[in-house]
Amino acid sequence: MIQESDRRSSTVESSTLTARVFALERACADLRDESDLARAVLEANREIARIRKPALVVGKLLQTMRHPLGFGRAIYATVDRVNGVEAKCQIDEGDVVEACDEQLDAREGSALLGVLRGENDGTGYARELSAPLVDVRGWYVLCVLRAADGPFGVIYVDGHPSGAIRPREAELVQNLASVAAVSIENGTLLERTQELASRDPLTGLLNRRAFSERVSAIISRAFALQAQFAYALIDVDDFKSLNDGMGHAHGDEILKDMAQTLLAASRADDVVGRYAGDEFVVLINNCDADLARALVARLSTSLRARDLRCSIGVALYPRDATGEHGLIEAADRALYNTKRAGKNGFSFY
């Protein structure tokens, strides 16, 4: 017959065993969650490292802070010597990256300035007087994105469902920010290199290749939307004589003045380029024949006001041609007509 004491002992052992099983199950579940989080963050790191456009890197970084890291809000701010720290974009409950007008406190004694100087680990609570935002949600993580020449950005996250700082999540934020910083820096260098490759070194205008690529894109769009535009070819009158008589340095100044005048007289969505030598091109977007004539007249008047004698030939899409080669030929013939008529004016094909 089982004694009462044996029964109680058996019950205690069973309860202890059950508690241990539950504890092990919780530990296993925590490990699985941590493993799943680590895999998701690793995949996000790989994706961020593959992105070449800085804006897309920032967007992916902010999205990762929400999912899978679980923060309620993430903000990206730029850092520079002129404007200081300026919030640019954020992601919040709507899961959409949008413009941000939050004011991050970077004054002396603030947590943000401490992070920029490397004086603290970038984590804290809403109740702290040095918190980077007035409306900090729970606890936050701040980390700096650095390039070779210093910090250029800040990532701020808060609103995590846990009540206390979770060092693991804070560490993952730092890790993601480090990968993003490298990707943004590489992407920025690539964009600068591509921009330099597409620009004429003397005038800063699009070079012939880059202008041609822009024309091809605009033709495709105009065809789809049944839109119209004008293609203007501009030539400096008697440029060889000016070069020979006053020197190449003076000729270069004329070309630079031409470029600035054409840019100033063009609209924001028009495209200006240097075609070759003393020849320039302006694609006048979204205009019919009457508007094109008025805008070309404005170009011609602006050039004359700068004492720049130029001949202009203009072709219209799709009236005169539907391809770039045809537009160039038509504009060139119109330019020849302007020259034959006495120069320093414009003609349409």
Domain that holds residue 52: 35-194
Checking if the pLDDT of 17 tops 60, the result is no
* Cis previous bond, 201, omega within 30: no
- Distance, in Å, from the CA atom of 102 to the CA atom of 90, rounded to the nearest integer, reads 9
Q: What is the pLDDT of residues 213-240, one digit of tens each?
A: 999 999 999 999 999 999 999 999 998 8
**42: helix, strand or coil:** helix
Checking if the pLDDT of 12 tops 60, the result is no
Q: What pLDDT was estimated at residue 38?
A: 84
* Total number of residues shown for the chain: 349
- Distance, in Å, from the CA atom of 283 to the CA atom of 313, rounded to the nearest integer, reads 12
Q: Kindly state whether residues 160 and 56 are assigned to the same domain.
A: yes
Confidence of residue 67 (pLDDT cuts 50, 70, 90): very high
Domain boundary pick from 194, 221, 236: 194
Helix intervals (H) in the chain: 4-50, 54-66, 111-116, 167-197, 208-225, 239-246, 248-265, 289-305, 324-340
Flag whether 200 is in a domain: no
- Distance, in Å, from the CA atom of 246 to the CA atom of 130, rounded to the nearest integer, reads 65
Average pLDDT over residues 173-180: 95
CA 40 to chain centroid, in Å, comes to: 25
Q: What is the pLDDT of residues 290-327, one digit of tens each?
A: 999 999 999 999 999 999 999 999 999 999 999 999 99
Confidence of residue 7 (pLDDT cuts 50, 70, 90): low
Higher pLDDT, 203 or 35: 203
Confidence of residue 9 (pLDDT cuts 50, 70, 90): low
**Tokens matching residue 149:** 């020449």
For residue 268, what is the DSSP state?
T
* C-alpha distance from residue 54 to each of 51, 57, 186 (Å): 8, 5, 8
Q: What pLDDT was estimated at residue 40?
A: 86
Flag whether 2 is in a domain: no
Q: Kindly state whether residues 292 and 324 are assigned to the same domain.
A: yes
Q: What pLDDT was estimated at residue 63?
A: 95
* Cis previous bond, 318, omega within 30: yes
Q: Kindly state whether residues 64 and 108 are assigned to the same domain.
A: yes
Confidence of residue 149 (pLDDT cuts 50, 70, 90): confident
Domain boundary pick from 159, 194, 229: 194
**Tokens matching residue 221:** 């769009």
pLDDT > 70: percent of the chain: 91
* Cα atoms in the 13 Å half-sphere on the side-chain side of 340: 8
Flag whether 74 is in a domain: yes
Flag whether 3 is in a domain: no
| Mean residue pLDDT across the chain | 90
Q: What pLDDT was estimated at residue 23?
A: 58
* C-alpha distance from residue 66 to each of 41, 94, 216 (Å): 11, 10, 40
CA 99 to chain centroid, in Å, comes to: 13
- Distance, in Å, from the CA atom of 332 to the CA atom of 275, rounded to the nearest integer, reads 12
Q: Kindly state whether residues 190 and 46 are assigned to the same domain.
A: yes
Flag whether 69 is in a domain: yes
Q: Kindly state whether residues 154 and 89 are assigned to the same domain.
A: yes
Q: Is the Cα torsion angle 195, 197, 203, 207 positive or negative in sign?
A: negative
- Distance, in Å, from the CA atom of 199 to the CA atom of 232, rounded to the nearest integer, reads 19
Checking if the pLDDT of 3 tops 80, the result is no
Are 206 and 274 contacting, i.e. CB atoms less than 8 angstroms apart?
Answer: yes
Checking if the pLDDT of 135 tops 70, the result is yes
Q: What pLDDT was estimated at residue 20?
A: 63
Q: Kindly state whether residues 128 and 221 are assigned to the same domain.
A: no
- Distance, in Å, from the CA atom of 339 to the CA atom of 217, rounded to the nearest integer, reads 31
Q: What pLDDT was estimated at residue 2?
A: 52
Q: Count other Cβ atoms within 10 Å, centred on residue 243.
A: 19
Q: What pLDDT was estimated at residue 300?
A: 97
Q: Kindly state whether residues 46 and 170 are assigned to the same domain.
A: yes
- CATH number, domain containing residue 61: 3.30.450.40
Q: Kindly state whether residues 231 and 143 are assigned to the same domain.
A: no
Flag whether 25 is in a domain: no
Q: Kindly state whether residues 179 and 216 are assigned to the same domain.
A: no
CA 329 to chain centroid, in Å, comes to: 36
Are 244 and 252 contacting, i.e. CB atoms less than 8 angstroms apart?
Answer: no
- CATH number, domain containing residue 306: 3.30.70.270
Q: Kindly state whether residues 241 and 132 are assigned to the same domain.
A: no
For residue 278, what is the DSSP state?
T
Q: What pLDDT was estimated at residue 11?
A: 61
Q: Which of the given ranges, 41-45, 202-206, 243-247, has the highest pLDDT on average?
A: 202-206
DSSP string, 6-41: HHHHHHHHHHHHHHHHHHHHHHHHHHHHHHHHHHHH
